[in-house]
Every structure is written in structure tokens, then in C-alpha cells.
Amino acid sequence: MKIVPDTSAVIDGRVSERVDDGTFDGADVLVPEAVVSELESQANDGRDTGWEGLSELQRLAEFADDGVIELKYVGRRPSAGETKGAHEGDIDALIRDIAAERSAKLLTSDVVQAEVAKAKGLSVEYVEPVVRGSGDLIIERFFDDQTMSVHLKTDTKPKAKRGAIGEMHYQTIDDEVTDEATMNEWADDIVNSARASPDGFIELSEPGMNIVQFRDYRIAVARPPFADGIEITAVRPIVKTELEDYEFADELRDRLAERQRGVLIAGSPGAGKSTFAQAVAEFLNDSDYAVKTMEKPRDLQVGPHITQYTALGGDMAKTADSLLLVRPDYTIYDEVRKTEDFSVFSDMRLAGVGMVGVVHATRAIDALQRLVGRVELGMIPQVVDTVVYIEDGAVHTVYDVSTEVKVPEGLFAEDLARPVIQIRDFETGTPKYEIYTFNRQVVTVPLGEEGDKKESGVSRLAKQEIEREIRSIARGHVEVDLKGQNRAVVYVEDDDISYVIGKGGGRISDVEDRLGIDIDVRTHDEKPSQGAPAGQSTGGQSSGGQSNDGVVVTPEVTSRHVIVRMDGHVGETVEVRANDQYLFTATVGRGGDIQVSRGSAIAEELEDAIDKKQQITVVPA
């Protein structure tokens, strides 16, 4: 009797099983080199199936040594192209060819392989595949009603995050250290149970990492060499809410149901963003909107009428293309993190689909600023018109986002009018921020409350505009002190005062007309309070002495730009200072840097500070 086992039969141990029961006594077992190659590849990837298959081959070798069977390795190893096409049946075809050439019976646990072999007239024995895993979640015992996540790792004590939303505590939940054998057993059981159970599926399978969705648990199983030890992290939602449970529920219901909108749900990790997104999804579905989700991994707990999609072929852009054919009214996108995610979110929103995106952010405005540099500035309000910030499981802040062509708050001349993105408090309608371009930079300016004595970002920008004009005609150091909405005092060097004023005051009058502000020109000696060494800005340029909060940077001067590198801060709005004196406000671009065009007033001031070896720092705006 000649037997050719395929990879599935070897992994399941079906050959040694039949040798043990006497079925294959004296049989010629012909193991294709293609099977060995596939098992070796799986073992190298850290997959248990590879190791199980190699163990089966070792058992067969022992049977051969004892004379129970004849064991031969036949055929050739598959090419790189055939290995890459294994999922399309290339290796299975090699194994069938060997069975046909040797007039042998094909032993398989793969139903497709069995049916194809029968169609080709081969002798086939099909055996049911081995069901791996307990079929249940072996680590579920670590969860109680207040456990949000369980964290297990080799040679450590089990830990968990427990408590109410916003009051989670990371705590040890078992005094017994988990050894490698136990962790390996748990990891295998989780993955195998997810494959075998209708309640689970493998969301992601890569060498060293599996992401499993099992009922309402999302479980990450990491192994060496990707991790420095076997680690299991299981997360589940501990509450399920309805939109009525949140503040502003009536207003938000009316806003979402009125028409398709672009919404960002923002908050810190564990704040309750996904829980709120689930409540929004259920409300929209109950309001007769067709709702879908885009998730990787899929872990939102929504009803059966809401279809949950993941990345098609690993690419959310393909998922978006498919959804546009399905034409949902609303899509919940969990989570929007990378530039590609924001691009997909924007494309779908501009195609008319209502979009609700979940974003990590520590402030409500930060969520909106993550679109800056990724979406054309004027299009942002069409992509996102509502920002909901979640803190401790509750709605903390809601912003309304719109565009208006106007002179930015705090600037004066009518010719400074430009498109301005206005961010208003949803409850009161009070303007909170403005976003616009200023000196070729996108700036986000907080609007201070009336009576706030602290210098606002707008005042700083207004000073820069005035200083830019005066620096274009003065040769020495210039300082600006705003004295209200329509008046400023400019301090210049003694040698510059007559030149700045001009004959009969004509030159300064031209500047006043352009800026729409009265300007009083004085020398630095006339400036009240403490004087400062020439070359150091005072009078309104101080930012409150917060240098300790800043990151010291070394700007790079190129032929066209002065560049400040800020890797890891893409989309954040920051202040650039020299010796703790304010220079300008900017948004870090998508390349992780701030670029200031040489020849501009800002660049000249920054280069002057560099030449004077002043310490350049960057702080959050």
C-alpha cells in the first residue's frame, strides 16, 4: 500500500494514528518534499501547526526505524513562486501530482484537496480535521463585571484594568507567576478556539502576532521574536450605553438625524470613545439610516443589522470603495489614526456618506488639528462639522465647525480678510478657536474670554503683522506693544526713528493705512519698565516664562527655508520661542517639521536668534 499524506494530514497526525491502529502496517509512506517545505515555513513563522507537523514526521521516522513502515521523501521542493501561491493551491497541486505518478492513495484533512483529487480520478482518503482549542475562552476566569482588560505575560503575575469608566486601576489579580508552558497553552487555545468556534475569528495573523475576536473579547496574542515573551492582552467593553445616557443627547440626536454629517469622536485611551460610537451607531440605525462600520480589528458591539467591515486585502481604501457601492447613509470608522485613514475618511465624507470617526486626542481641538496638513484647509468643515470629546465616559465638549470669510479675530485691516475655520462651543455658540493661514503657515488661535488679561494668540499674530511692516523699513531691532484694538506703540533704534516716520510722517501713515491701526513710534529708551539688552524682545513678546515646558530644537537653515524638526508631533499647533521669548505659532506639517520661507519676517527673526546663539524651544500652543 502506498500512501501520500498532504500537509493537513501530517499536521493532524493522521498517518501515525493509522500506523498505531494497524491500518498502515507495512505501508510505503511517501512524504512530498513540498509538505516538508510548507511545515518548515510555518515553524519558522512561529506557527504551532508547523511544529506539530514536524513532530509527526519524527514519529514516522521512528516507525520506519522499527520496520513498521517504509518512509521515503519524494518529489521536489516548491519554487518561491509556488510557495507564494500556496493559498491558491500550487503546493496542493504538487502533492496530487506525486500521488498520481506513484499510483498512491492521497490522505488529507483538507476537504477542497479531497474533492479536487476525486475529480482528477485519484484514490483519496478524507479524514475530518482535528478540532483544536477548548471551544471556549480559557482566560475568561480572570474577568469580572468591572474588568475592562486582562494582561498576561510569561514570568509575570496576571494584571487587569478594573473599575468604573474614568476610574480604572491597573492591578495585580493573581499572585501566581505564569510560566512559559502555561502561557503557550493559553495562547494556542485562544487562537485555535477562535478558528474552530462560530463565535470567533482571526482578525490578523502575522509572524509573532495574532489578533482574535472571540464573542465580545478582542485578544492580542504576541510571541517572540516580535515580543520579548509570550503576551496575551484581552479587552472587552464593560458597559453598553444609549445616546440618551449622555449629556446633550437631544441636541446631538437632532443634529445627527438632520442630515449626514462628519463627526469626530475624540478622547484619551479608555475614555469611552468606542462605547459612545456604539451608542451613536445604534441610534442612527434606529433612526432609519443604513449604518456600516469600518474597523480593524472589528470590536464594536453593535446589533446584527449593522454590518461590520474590516480592511479588504489589508487596505481600508479598498473597503471604502466597496462601501461606496453599498451606499450606506452613515459609516462608523474606528479608529482614524494614520494619514491614509484620514484620507479615506475625507474621501467618503466628500462623496456624501455621513462619517463618524473615532480618534485618539487629549483635547477636542487636537482631533480637528489632525486633519490639518492631511486635508486642504478650506475643505475641513465639509469633512468634519462636529467634534465630540469624551472624558471619563461622558460627553465633555462638543464643537461646531464652520467656515467664514472674515478678518481673523484680533487683526484689524480689512485686506487681511481670509477664509477662517471657526470652532464654536456647541451648547453656547461661543467661538473658541479660529484656524487660518498666516504668513504661509496654518495657525490655530484660541480665542480668550472677555476680560482675560493674558495675551492671546491673535494679539501675538497682530504684533507679528505690525512688526513685519516696520522691519521692512527699519534696519535695527523692532518691538511692538499693542494698546488695544486700534493702537500700537512701536519701539525702534534711535537711528531708525526718523526713517520709519518719514518726511512729514508720510511713511508711517502709509503703514497705518495698510494695517488700519494707529502707530506711535518711539525709541527703545522710551520704553517703560525694565529694559532688555538689545537683540532680546520684551514688551508683549514674553510668553509667561514657560521655557521649562519647551523642547529645545536646533533649526536647520537651507537655501529656501528655515526648518524646525518636530518628529512625532504631526498636526500639533506649537509656539516657537527664542530665549523663552515668543516668535511665532505654527502647525507641524505632515512631514514632522515646521518650514518657514526665508525672506519672511518670521524667518529673519528666527535666523537672527540663531545667529545670536539664543536657545530655540518649541512648546504646545
| Predicted confidence (pLDDT) per residue in 447-501, tens digit | 864 434 445 555 666 677 788 788 888 878 888 887 766 678 888 888 888 888 8
pLDDT range class, residue 414, cuts 50, 70, 90: low
Can you point out the beta strands (E) in 361-465?
386-391, 394-406, 418-425, 431-438, 441-446
With beta carbons less than 8 A apart as the criterion, state whether 252 and 246 touch: yes
- CA distance between the termini of the chain: 79
| Contact criterion met (CB below 8 Å) for 246 and 278 | no
The label of the residue with cell 440618551 reads 244
Can you tell me the distance from the alpha carbon of 148 to that of 346, in angstroms, rounded to the nearest whole number?
32
More confident call, 17 vs 301:
17
Predicted local confidence at residue 545, as pLDDT = 36
Q: Which CATH architecture has domain 2-126?
A: 3-Layer(aba) Sandwich (3.40)
pLDDT at 455: 52
Least confident interval from 69-78, 429-438, 534-543: 534-543
In 3D, which of 402, 405, 401 has the Cα closest to residue 415?
Answer: 405
Task: Give the rounded percent of residues in the chain with a pLDDT score beyond 90.
Answer: 34
Average pLDDT, the chain: 84
Per-residue model confidence (pLDDT) at position 547: 41
* pLDDT value of residue 87: 63
What is the Cα–Cα distance from 588 to 573, expressed in whole angstroms?
6
| Top-confidence residue, 259 or 241 | 259
Q: In the structure, what pLDDT confidence band is assigned to residue 5 with cuts at 50, 70 and 90? A: very high
pLDDT attached to residue 540: 35
9-27 CB burial, b ≥16 within 10 A, e <16 = bbbbbbbbbbbeeeebeeb
Q: Looking at the whole model, is its pTM more than 0.85?
A: no
Same fold, 140-235 and 457-526: no
Look at residue 542 in the predicted model and tell me its pLDDT: 34
Beta bridge partners of 331: 292, 355
Cell triple for 143? 474577568
| pLDDT given at position 539 | 36
| Structural domain boundaries in the chain | 2-126, 140-235, 243-446, 457-526, 547-620
Q: Which residue has the higher pLDDT, 321 or 462?
A: 321
For 524-562, the pLDDT digits (tens) are 888 875 433 433 333 333 333 334 457 888 888 887 788
| pLDDT of the residue at 537 | 38
Report the CATH architecture of 243-446.
3-Layer(aba) Sandwich (3.40)
Coil vs helix vs strand at 229: coil
pLDDT at residue 586 is higher than 90: no
pLDDT of residue 288: 92
**pLDDT score at 541:** 35
Mean pLDDT of the region 330-358:
93
Q: What is the pLDDT of residue 411?
A: 64
To which CATH superfamily is domain 457-526 assigned? K homology (KH) domain (3.30.300.20)
User: Could you tell me the CA-to-CA distances from 354 to 174, 265, 275, 385, 390 in Å, in that order?
Assistant: 46, 14, 19, 11, 20
Comparison of pLDDT for 186 and 512, the residue scoring more = 186
Alpha-carbon distance 446 to 432, whole Å? 6
Give the confidence band of 350 by pLDDT, cuts at 50, 70, 90. Answer: very high
**According to the CATH classification, is domain 140-235 in 1.10.287.980?**
no
DSSP E strands: which ranges in 223-299? 231-235, 262-267, 291-295
